[in-house]
Amino acid sequence: MYRVTREIEFCYGHRLLNYDGKCRHLHGHNGRAVVTLEGTRLDSRGMLVDFGEIKQTIQRWIDEQLDHNMLLCREDPLLPLLRERGERVFVMDANPTAENIARLIYDQGRGAGLPISEVVLWETPNCFAAYSGEDDR
């Protein structure tokens, strides 16, 4: 099995609904997504996937959609106010937890045809969540 990994740093804000701790308030993170791709075969260049392709696909999407953006659940009552004020908001169907953000990045990469096996999202230097999906490679 071959495996390649690219790390992508980005900044984002969020808050959690139905949560009783500090994270119920708007706050931000310097996040780091560690995206791992896996497969059994190399292409004619001897590569699983070119690192540049990962950058052009996943990193570009993160830069355009998540970086320096507020990630909020569709049900967040602040959403209409922030939109009215012209603030950048990325709307998620689920609570924007580290687990759900990892899955969001995973799903985006898989949807773009990349053989992603796992996304680890470091929310702080000491805390991370991972999503590896179904074994559908």
**38 carries an active-site annotation:** no
**68 carries an active-site annotation:** yes
Task: Indicate the Cα dihedral angle 34, 130, 67, 106, nearest 10°.
Answer: 80
The catalytic residue among 9, 27, 68, 87 is 68
The catalytic residue among 23, 38, 99, 118 is 23
Q: Which residue has the tokens 């740093």?
A: 9
d(CA 98, CA 120): 9
The catalytic residue among 14, 29, 73, 123 is 123
**Cα separations (Å) of 83 from 79, 88, 102?**
6, 7, 24
d(CA 49, CA 40): 12
Instruction: Describe the chain by its helix, strand, coil percentages, rounded to 5.
Output: 30, 35, 35
Looking at residue 97, the DSSP 8-state letter turns out to be -
**123 carries an active-site annotation:** yes
Catalytic residue ranges: 23, 68, 123
